[in-house]
Amino acid sequence: MYETRELVEAKHRPLVITTSNNEKELPDAFLRRCFFHYIKFPDAQTMKDIVEVHFPGIKWDLLATAMQSFFELHNVSGLKKKPSTSELLDWLKLLLAEDIPPEALRADDQKQIIPPLHDALLKNEQDVALFERLLFMNRNHR
């Protein structure tokens, strides 16, 4: 170690795990030295299990309604940044802190196009605008 001027020797060859969400291309020279394992996006049951680890005892009605809204939003094509597991967890934390009832996530009011506290889910202005347009068009066709 540079700071302590001590030599530290590993007993076993170290294993380094690097994760990527494909936001940037990694250099070919780096990738040639890597093993690649793709982890698919969690399905609804796996996501529910993940949420229950972070929020034990969360009310089923809120979780079911929030997950339905989340997966509908996640599946919108054309989003620049699709909401991920971490956004769902952040959103649920806000919903719980603000004591937002499940009914507020199911609002049919035209003015309530975007779910409450959507800032935790949608991370840029273009995605918010796209989602608003899609929901507006969908509600007008009903």
pLDDT in tens, 29-58: 988 988 888 889 999 999 999 999 999 999
- Residue type at position 34: C
Give the pLDDT confidence of 5-29 residue by residue, as tens digits.
888 888 998 888 888 777 788 899 9
Return the residue matching tokens 């229950």: 52
Q: What does the pLDDT look like over 93-135, one tens digit per residue?
A: 999 999 988 888 875 554 455 678 878 888 888 888 887 777 6
Quick one: pLDDT at residue 110? 46
Residue 15 lies in a domain: no
pLDDT tens digits along 82-92: 899 999 999 99
d(CA 138, CA 142): 7
Residue-range definition of the domain harbouring residue 54: 44-140
Residue 1, Cβ neighbours under 10 Å: how many? Answer: 7
Q: What is this structure's pTM? A: 0.71
Task: Determine the Cα–Cα distance for residues 123 and 142; give it in Å rounded to an integer.
Answer: 28
72 inside domain = yes
How many domains, in total, are found in the chain? 1
Q: Which residues of 69-84 are buried (b: 16+ CB within 10 A; e: fewer)?
A: bbeebbeeeebeebbb
Q: What is the mean pLDDT of residues 73-86?
A: 88
> What is the pLDDT, as a whole number, of residue 5?
86
Q: Is residue 130 part of a domain?
A: yes
